[in-house]
Amino acid sequence: MRQHQHHTLWELIQQGNATAFRELFDTYWEELFTYAFRILKDRSTAQDAIQSLFIHLWEKHNSLPEVQNIPAYLRTALRHRLLNALRDEHVYQKHVDLFAEIAAGSDNSLLDAIQLKDAETALLRTMNTLPAKMKDVFYLHRIEQLSVAEIALRLGSSEQTIRNQLNTALHRIRAQWSTLSGLLICWLFC
C-alpha cells in the first residue's frame, strides 16, 4: 500500500468508516498475528491481543493520533499489549503458584468453606454485571464447557464475536479478581 493510500485509509478510520477499518484489519491481521505469535508462543493469546488492539482502534477511532506509518504504529501498539499480556501472565502465574501452595497445605476447614462461598458470591455478582449476551457466552464456555464453535452455533454468532465477548468478560472479571479466592481464579483462568 502506498504512503498516500495509508494516509487516506487512516483518515477514513478516524472518521469511523467501517469499510476502511475492515481493509485495515484484512491488510494487517496476518502480519500482526505472526509478530504476536512469535513473541507469545500461544495462538489464543496472540489472537486475543490483536482482537483487543483492533477493538480499541475502532472504539477510539475519533481520538486516534495522526499516523504516518500505519504498520509501525500497529506493531508498536501491539507490542505494548503483548508486554501487558506477558506481565499479566507472570502476575497470574504467581497467584496460581501461591494457590497451589496453600491448597497443598489446606485441611479444608470450615473457614476455607466460608471463604470459598464468599468468593463464589463475589464471582456471581461480577458475572451479573456483564451484559446479558456476554454473561451467556461466559456461562456456556466456563460452566457448560462448550467450545467457541459450539457457542457460536448455539447463539447464531460468529466465532470471532464469541472470542471477543469471552475476552472482554475475562478482562472485566480479572479486573475484580482481587476479591476472588485463589480457587476461583484458577477455575476462571486456568
pLDDT value of position 90: 59
pLDDT value of position 109: 57
Task: Report the chain (190 residues): mean pLDDT per 10 consecutive residues.
Answer: 65 93 94 88 84 91 89 90 71 55 55 60 71 82 82 88 87 64 50
The model carries a pTM of: 0.48
In this structure, the number of other CB atoms found within 10 A of the CB of residue 9 comes to 20
pLDDT value of position 8: 86
Q: Looking at residue 65, what DSSP letter applies?
A: P
pLDDT value of position 49: 86
Q: How far apart are CA 142 and CA 111, in angstroms?
A: 26
In CATH, 3-84 is 3.40.50.720: no
Q: What backbone torsions phi and psi does residue 93 show, to the nearest 5 degrees?
A: -60, -35
The Cα-based distances of 18 to 3, 11, 59 in angstroms read 20, 12, 12
pLDDT value of position 3: 47
pLDDT value of position 181: 46
Q: Give the architecture (CATH level 2) of 107-189.
A: Orthogonal Bundle (1.10)
| Per-domain boundaries in the chain | 3-84, 107-189
Q: How far apart are CA 89 and CA 150, in angstroms?
A: 27
pLDDT value of position 103: 55
In this structure, the number of other CB atoms found within 10 A of the CB of residue 123 comes to 21
Query: What spatial distance separates the first Cα and last Cα of the chain, rounded to whole Å?
Result: 41
